[in-house]
Amino acid sequence: MMTPKEFQKAFAKDMKTAVSRAMLAMGQKAYDEATGMFGHYDNGGNWPTLSKRTIENHERKFAVALSGAGFGGFDTPLVASGELMKSLEWDATATTAEVGTDDPKMKYHELGEGVPARPVFGPVVYKMEEHVQKIFATAFDENLGVR
């Protein structure tokens, strides 16, 4: 039988593992949500439609790049060449999860600076609210047997 001290130590270790697992799952889910917003209007971002001129430019400049991307056309917001979406990365530590990009163009789209706003990260934060409880419940259940 465990002493109270041994139990406390084992529980703390399991708790840390559960939180770490939750952070990994949250990072992956946030990344999936962010990349899933690219190329679609029905993504919860309330994005303005692309102009006819922009769609024609996509078709002229990026026909080869988009042909096998599975978007089904050139009316694909934030997917001109596909490079912006490819620049997204995610990372997680024992206590944090993050998704982002080092592409400076994302700032203009996120905030609508010089182009119509088509935010990705702001809406992802709200989308993650519905997933956080389930992710933590799963991680705690798997590590602690708690539900």
Output the pLDDT for position 121: 93
Element (H, E) at 65: helix 52-67
Q: What angle do CA 145, 8, 20 make, to 5 degrees?
A: 55
Share of the chain above pLDDT 70, in %: 88
Q: Can you name the residues that pair with 92 across neighbouring β-strands?
A: 97
The predicted-structure confidence for 75-107, as pLDDT tens digits, reads as follows: 888 888 889 999 999 999 999 999 999 999 999
Amino acid at 7: F
C-alpha dist (Å) from residue 57 to 2, 5, 45, 71, 116: 69, 67, 23, 16, 16
CA 64 to chain centroid: 26
pLDDT single digits (tens) 35-79: 999 988 877 768 898 999 988 888 887 766 655 555 657 788 888
Q: How many residues does the chain have?
A: 147
For the chain, the domains span 21-144
Structure tokens at 2: 């465990």
